[in-house]
Amino acid sequence: MNGIILIDKPQGFTSFDVIAKLRGILKTKKLGHSGTLDPMATGVLPVFIGRATKAIDLLPDGEKRYRAEFKLGYSSDTQDAIGEITEKSEVRAALEDIEKILPEFRGKILQLPPMYSAVKVGGKRLYDIARSGGVCERKAREIEIYSLEILSFDEASQSGTLDVSCSKGTYIRTLINDIGERIKTLGVMSGLRRTYSQGFDIKDCVTLEEVESAALSGSIGEMILPAESCFTVYPKITLTEKSERLYSNGVRLDKDRIGVSDEGLYRVYGKDFIGIGKAENGIFSAVKSFGGDDNN
C-alpha cells in the first residue's frame, strides 16, 4: 500500500495519535504525516503510506489556510484556551477596532515563536523548557500572511472568527495574541480548523471512522491518492525508455538532451511516476526515487 490519505484530524488527537490509529486500521507500520496539528485543532492532515513517506521531506512550502476562533479579555501560557490564564484585561474591543489593525498583520511580518512550540533553542524544544517552568530568549522569524479577514465578532462575548491564509511556520495562536495586544487588550485562540494545506483541501479529507469503514469493506484504495499528487507545483518531464533506464541507475543526464530548459525540481515520469529530479548546472539527476520495496 502506497500513497497519501487526507485525514480530517479530530479534536483531542495529536498528529501522532492519528498515525497510531491508522497503523491499526491499515495494518502497516510505514506511515508518516506532514504539517503537525495541535490536539485542539482539527482539519487537513496529509498522511503518507509506504513508499510515499519518502515525499515528506521534499514537500513544497505551500500555503496553509485556517478558520481560527478567538476570545479577547485574557491571555494564557500556551496562547490558547487550553492553557492556564496568566493575565486578564477589562478593555473591551469593538469590531471596528479589530478591522482597523488587521492590515498591519498582512504580508511579511516578524513573529516571535511561542514558548509552547517545537522550535529548538540551544538544542532543546521550547515546549520542554516551558514545561519545566523555564523561559528563554527567542528570535523573531519572518512569516507571511497572504490574507487575513475577520468573519464574525460578538462584542458581548468578545469572541470571533478569523480566516487566515499563511506561510509555513506561522503560529495562529501567536497571531491572535499579537492582535489582542495591538488593540490594547489580550486574546487567546479558542478553536482552530485547518482548511487547506500544501495543495490539499478540507473537502477532500476523510474521517478516521470513514477510513475504518472503507478498510473493512475493502474499498480503502479509493481514498488513497498517488504520491505525485503533492508535487503538482513542479513541472513534469517524461523520459524515454533509454533515458529512464540511465536515470534509474544513477546516471547524470544532460538536461538539454532530455528536453529540460529551466533549472530546478521536476516530477519525473517514465511509464509511470518515478520520483523527483533536479536540473542544476546543465545536469539532470535524481533527488528522490519512489520505486523499490515497501519494507512494511
- Catalytic positions are 38
For the chain, counts of helices (H) and of strands (E): 6, 18
Using DSSP, state whether 12 is helix, strand or coil.
coil
Helices 15-26/208-217 angle, 10° precision: 10
Distance in angstroms (rounded) separating the CA atoms of residues 118 and 115: 9
Place of cell 500513497: 3
* Strand pairing category for 273-280 and 283-289: antiparallel
Separation CA 85–CA 76 (nearest Å) = 4
Contacts of 276 (CB under 8 A, 6+ apart): 58, 231, 234, 265, 266, 267, 268, 286, 287, 288
| Element (DSSP H or E) covering residue 74 | strand 74-76
CA separation (Å) from 238 to 2, 26, 90, 258? 21, 32, 63, 9
Q: What CA–CA distances, in Å, run from 253 to 145, 209, 279?
A: 40, 47, 9
